[in-house]
Structure 1
Amino acid sequence: MPWREVWGSHGGRIAGVAFGAVLGLIYLFSGFWDMLFFALVVFIGYTLGKRKDTAQGPLFQWQELAAWLSGVWRPFK
């Protein structure tokens, strides 16, 4: 089978195994918690990049959050 056919039918599995192997190597060299932090940073970067690619806008609506917080904290003044 040519590479394109294999990638077309098993691309997700190949990418999953490659990602698992990379995370396994990171675990072997740096430790479990460092690997989890690295995976979290990669996931955050992927999520933000995907949102930018699909033009979904910012993750947080900062003006709405500021208005909500000022309304919540108003009684404490």
Structure 2
Amino acid sequence: MWRIWWETSGGRIAGVAAGLLFGIIYLICGFWDMLFCALLIGIGYWIGKHKDERRGPLFPWERLTEWASDRWPWSR
């Protein structure tokens, strides 16, 4: 059961765990920073879900470099 769960949602689990770890470390510094903790957990979940669904890279680096080389031809 755990193996199937890990294979289907491993990225989300790892993302939430990393976000929770960094959130707890950040929370030690103050109570009102819980919103930032929730943001870290949400970002970790989003990145993990992106990995689980195998959508490709988070940032389209090829399109960005192509755009930059078209905009500034001297940077090629």
**Higher Cα radius of gyration:** 1
- Structure number with the bigger relative contact order (C-alpha 8 A, sep ≥ 6) is 2
Name the TM-score, length of structure 1 as normaliser: 0.48
Name the TM-score, length of structure 2 as normaliser: 0.48
